[in-house]
Amino acid sequence: MGGVTYVGGAAALALAALRGQNAPLFQRDSMYRVLVLGAGKIGALICGLLAESGSYKVQLGDIDGAAAEAVVRAHETRNILAFALDATDAAALARHLAEHPLDAVVSGLPYYCNLGVAAAARKARIHYFDLTEDVDVTRGVRTLAAGAGQAFVPQCGLAPGFISIAAAELITHFDALRAVKLRVGALPQHPNNVLKYSLTWSTEGLINEYGNPCQAVSDGRLLEVAPLEGLEEIEIDGTLYEAFNTSGGLGSLAETHGAHIETMNYKTIRYPGHCQQMRLLMNDLKLNHDRGTLKRILENAVPQTLQDVVIVYAAVTGTQDGQLREENYVNKVYPQVIAGRLWSAIQVTTAAGITAVVDLVLEHQGRYSGFVAQEQFRLTDILANRFGRYYAPGGTKHVSGEVVVSGRAGHQRRQAANG
């Protein structure tokens, strides 16, 4: 049954809706007030980073109130409140937004839930952020954002998200552009199955990226290209990888810079051989047309891991002072211990990306409104931000290895919640 229930504590006072204004519905006190939707792998860290900063009061909403409450207990901070909230129930979500003072809503939900959340944010006149990689959802958010006084910032996180910010920063260094390559991969540190892969984030999102049409720029024209095609080899720090087309990672960067460039594309990095196996599953066995079955197969056969590594690679080629040059941003991010718990690299990079953007928007009231593309944020500002600092280079796999060997990784959320 859809609806909202406050899990623990007294109900907040209902506030009257301000009408006919583009300003945010609620004025904040000394702390920003944010609703995070989704108590999963990424949502759990998003709400923790915000709440533990001391600058945010966070409401964590999930259709499973017990899951949200477990996350709150694990973080051990009074700055998070848990709610049983079905965000797909438009009436329940609108009622929650009307009854609780908020500056922003952050959606950590599957991509197909986001348009409803964005519509509710527009009506409530609060800022909106999401992690979607889905192109059609982003187009819908752009339509909803037209003329809004608050910011609508989809495609936050890693890819799309941080990779677009990194590439856009390099683009500013050139007088004329020739090519932009964006490559990102979240990989197990120790691959040992035929896919050479572990599930590190949303399985539905992964299948969406592997199965939907992709965007690329060729000769200055925005094109659709097939997923799991465009296979290439790429070597980083002496290790050989493969990369291939996947959907959504280009974000809005092609629309912003595509008319002034010969080629631009986004590809996912994997260990060699992965693409061939996924082609078998999705194309030859037709599981791209039966994604429910594919999801069950992957989740039953491919393990999750906290011992991963995220590779971020952006390359821009163009002219500087009349000479053809290339600049690169290359980084490897490993799992990190935050607030006493080990978080995977994909959790850290995704949560750090969106929280840094949230922080910049809320700290600079009035600077951002309507549809906000990721490339409107400066890489230097992201890396200098208190949340963006988790992208700092220099990490190693040894942190996660030591935590795993100690036996503290396997049940850490349950241990914290029961502690």
User: Which tokens go with 127?
Assistant: 């800022």
pLDDT for 134 equals 87
User: Would the pLDDT of 113 be above 90?
Assistant: yes
Mean pLDDT of 214-241: 95
Question: What percent of the chain shows pLDDT beyond 70?
Answer: 91
Predicted pLDDT of residue 13: 23
Domains contained in the chain, CATH given: 4-153 (3.40.50.720), 158-418 (3.30.360.10)
Q: pLDDT tens digits, residue range 42-53?
A: 999 999 999 999
Q: Which element (helix H / strand E) includes 352? A: helix 345-363
Q: Please tell me the least confidently modeled range out of 18-32, 76-90, 270-284, 351-365.
A: 18-32
DSSP label of 280: I
Percent residues over pLDDT 90 in the chain:
79
Per-residue pLDDT, 393: 82
> Which H or E element spans position 401?
helix 398-406
**408 band by pLDDT with thresholds 50, 70 and 90:** confident
Q: How large is the average pLDDT for residues 272-298?
A: 97
Residue-level pLDDT at 412: 66
d(CA 252, CA 200): 25
Q: Is 256 helix (H, G, I), strand (E, B) or coil?
A: helix
All residues at 6 or more sequence positions from 97 whose CB lies less than 8 Å from its CB, including other chains = 25, 35, 105, 120, 121, 123, 124, 126
Taking alpha carbons only, the member of 77, 76, 75, 81 closest to residue 62 is: 81
Q: How confident is the model at residue 19 (pLDDT cuts 50, 70, 90)?
A: very low
| Beta pairing, strands 104-107 & 32-37 | parallel
- Judged by DSSP in three states, 35 sits in strand
Task: Compute the mean pLDDT over every residue in the chain, rounded to the nearest whole number.
Answer: 90
Provide the angle, in degrees to the nearest 10, between the axes of the packed helices 41-52 and 65-75. Answer: 40
pLDDT at 201: 79
